[in-house]
A and B are shown apart, each in its own frame.
Chain A
Amino acid sequence: MSKYIIEAIDVKKNYSVMGMRIAALDNINLGFAPGEFTAIMGPSGSGKTTLLNLITGLERPTSGQIFFEGRDITDAQEKELTELRRRKIGLVFQMYNLIPVLSALENVELPTIASDLPKDEARKRALDLLERVGLKERLNNKPVELSGGEQQRVAIARALINDPSIVVADEPTGNVDTDTGLKLIKLLSELKRERSVTIILTTHDRVVADHADRIVRMRDGKIQE
């Protein structure tokens, strides 16, 4: 049994663009320990997002293996991967990606529909989480009525609703100003302590990365730890 919650072994990912093969990830060996806050840093195009997509099962590696809680998910069926993301992984995106037709509360509750959580329990959790992220007063606002920072906090609450063991955030501060970004990162690290959840985020902001337990640097699809 591996000591890592997620582990990538010899992972390669190639894209072919107009007939040309482009190596997005080259021989990645990386593990994430439970309860660890990891920041993946690197310039655009260094393969950060691709790495996140691979470890959350949104994309499959060209070669290599990915283990999630000791289980090889490299060749897992689409259904299993969906189930995995639903139960174990909370996702936060740079563009917030909230559902515009749903209120903050409904957005937070949304993943519980997929996970078949009883609706009273779902409502309770959503209210708790929204209070925790400081949006108690904005439950019924639609995403357009919220600021970028508020939307990202809703997204963080949404990521946590199914009680995942890991939160994967792709440039969560990329679309907000520095102050708001720092607040979000502080919130994330607080939540990490409270809920002992593993956090993996990507950023190219040094200040943001400094809040992490561990920083992984990437360049041209390679890790420069």
Chain B
Amino acid sequence: MTRFWVCFPAALLLTLMIAFSCESSALCEANRPNSSFASDNVSYYFASDSGNYLSPDNQITINIDNNGRATVQVRLHAKAYYPTGIGDQIEIPVPYPQDRVTVTSVSVSNAAQAAYNTVGTKDKTTIQVKIPGSPEEVYVEAVYAVNDVYDGKENKHSFRLLLSSFTTEISVNLMTGNRESWINRKSIELSPTSSEDTYFLINEEVLPFAVYLVLSNVNPQIIELSLGMEAAPYGLEMMPLYALAVSLIPAIFFLLLANITRFINSRRRVGVVVLAYRNLHRRLGRLFLTLIGVSIPSMLLVQILVQNTLSQKMLGPGSTRGEWYIALILIVVILIGGFQVFNTVFSSVLERIRELGVMKAIGFNPSYIFKMIMAESAIIGIIAGLLGSLLAAMLAILSAQIFYGLSLPNTVYTEIISNSFGETNLGNPFVRNSAIAMALLIVTSAVLTYLWPSEYEGHASFFMVLSFQLFLILVRPTDPFTVSRLVELAPSLLENILVGVLFTVILSIAAGSYVAYQAGKIEPSEAMRHV
């Protein structure tokens, strides 16, 4: 233990230091203009991977001249997406009668967070349209708030628009589902209003992951769009708990293994469990193969369960896999996992049939042999179940984010996917620094592991540090909403994992029981003739 507790905090500290320096340099670089967007229409969808890199003076300025030519300047780390390429200076054709459009500038401050991912953050987004020569100033104030009311199966989210003295048409698009295909895109046409404030309550079953506004038929000379929002607090406090929790899994596994081994070796006397553990440990290579084999089915199961939990909560009912599907998976799980355990236990019994014969000859009852083999199966089940279930839950959460675009922790993965049309990430300071950080940190932990080469504690610290780093790098700071949502989902997710583990253990025990029973009945005189 001591080595571990020296090793781990040291590595952790180093990790944090390097990570901090990388993040801050990424932040600095983020403030210079490095991205922009293209459009063929005056509807803009501003989106960002994460709002945390916003500085208060991020802005997009669009100049449209009398010929309907527009130039856009973007000072925004967060990216503005439109389904075409991204460049520094672009031209936008304006679909209005040219003699009537003299838009001089459109500036959007902190648009990204406002347009994307804001839903539920209770932030206020103000769109200001100013018409020069007219005494009026037009404000569109959109207040997004999540109703935290879950009435059993469906969640209702309200979306309120406050329109004041608006003279044009505005449509609000709510996007749910997959970000790439923009499924469930919903357009709501709002009629021009009088000078009175208008509230819209849009009850959506499904929480939109992005909202964008389209202004059309604009007739003013100058449009100034300003979307105001506080930049999200940045720093360690935003470190997702999720990343920490997930990164600890392999480390906890090895830590447990280290302590179990220590505990077992310190026993004054060997017993059923000790014998079983040692027998498994003696064939470590095969144990690993078996664990993989047995954990894959549990992964299948838990992946489906967690996916169901996530999509039920986030995409709404009807998005989950049916019971027949789970039943099918269960059958596959039972077949593969059961066979794996059976095969392993069976061959390990065959291999030491002589040993078992000796044990019976020197006075052990069949029930003792039975218990010993059962303990082996149970150990396989517990370890494989834990490994498989935790891994599957992790993957399911990640994939939910990637493929459903749900507001779970933003990762580099999503950025890479988002940028698949156009920009590469090589120039992205965050990614670049992350790569440097990762290289540095792997070296660090390798050195630490070398300095304290204790079998499992070395593994534990290495994996703890490595996984922590990986997730520090992959998972960016995220908004509190995401964390709270995960916290809210945690009981269901834990339940799913528990189901996976329990199921695997029961399966293992069931598969091992026949072999254990047969092993108990071994004839010692016959068994000892085996070489």
Contact = CB atoms under 8 A, between A and B. Distances in A.
A44 interface: no
Interface in A102-117: 102, 106, 109-115
Contacts of A82: 360, 363-365
A9 interface: no
Contacts of B365: 79, 82, 114
A100 B363 contact: no
Given A82-B360, A85-B361, A85-B363, A110 B270 contact: yes
Given A59-B525, A101-B278, A101-B279, A110 B362 contact: yes
Contact of B355 (A53, A100, A106, A114): A100
A125 interface: no
Given A58-B525, A101-B282, A93 B269 contact: no
B192 interface: no
Interface in A165-223: none
A99 B355 contact: yes
Contacts of B524: 58
B499 interface: no
Given A97-B354, A100-B355, A111 B363 contact: yes
Contacts of A86: 362-364
Contacts of B270: 102, 106, 109-110, 113
Contacts of B355: 97, 99-100
B271 interface: yes
B358 A97 contact: yes
Interface string A122-152: 1100000000000000000000000000000
Contacts of A111: 362-363
Given A100-B282, A102-B270, A109-B270, A53 B362 contact: no
A100 B281 CA distance: 12
A99 B271 CA distance: 13
Contacts of A93: 358, 528
Interface string B344-359: 0000000000110011
B269 A158 contact: no
Interface residues of A, number: 32
Given A114-B364, A114-B365, A101 B358 contact: no
Contacts, number: 73
Q: What bracket does the count of chain B residues touching chain A fall in? A: 20 to 34
Interface in B257-289: 268-271, 275, 278-279, 281-282
Interface of B: 268-271, 275, 278-279, 281-282, 354-355, 358-365, 368, 524-525, 528, 531
A218 B200 CA distance: 106
Contacts of A109: 269-270
A97 B358 CA distance: 7
Contact of B361 (A91, A95, A122): A91
Given A101-B278, A113-B271, 5 more contacts: A79-B365, A95-B354, A95-B531, A106-B270, A110-B362
A119 interface: yes
Given A53-B525, A100-B355, A91 B362 contact: yes
A75 interface: no
A72 interface: no
A123 B270 CA distance: 11
B288 to A, nearest CB: 17
**7 A-B pairs with least C-beta separation:** A86-B363, A101-B278, A97-B358, A58-B525, A114-B363, A119-B269, A114-B364
Contacts of A122: 269
B282 to A, nearest CB: 5
23 contacts: A56-B361, A58-B524, A58-B525, A82-B363, A82-B365, A85-B362, A86-B362, A95-B354, A97-B355, A100-B282, A101-B278, A102-B275, A106-B270, A109-B269, A110-B359, A110-B362, A113-B270, A113-B271, A113-B368, A114-B362, A114-B365, A123-B268, A123-B269
B264 to A, nearest CB: 11
A102 B279 CA distance: 9
Contacts of B358: 93, 97, 99
A101 B363 contact: no
Nearest to B272: A113
A93 B355 CA distance: 12
A58 B524 CA distance: 7
A87 B363 CA distance: 8
A123 B269 CA distance: 8
Task: Tell which of A53, A95, A110 has the most Cβ of chain B within 10 Å.
Answer: A110
A187 to B, nearest CB: 19
A179 to B, nearest CB: 25
Nearest to B270: A106
A119 B524 CA distance: 26
Task: Tell which of A101, A114, A115, A123 has the most Cβ of chain B within 10 Å.
Answer: A101
Interface in A35-84: 53, 56, 58-59, 79, 82-83
Contacts of A85: 361-363
A101 B358 CA distance: 14
A97 B353 CA distance: 11
Contacts of A58: 361, 524-525
A102 B361 contact: no
Contacts of B269: 106, 109, 112-113, 119, 122-123
B383 to A, nearest CB: 18
Task: Tell which of A95, A114, A159 has the most Cβ of chain B within 10 Å.
Answer: A114
Task: Tell which of B269, B363, B524 has the most Cβ of chain A within 10 Å.
Answer: B363
Contacts of A119: 268-269
Contacts of A53: 525
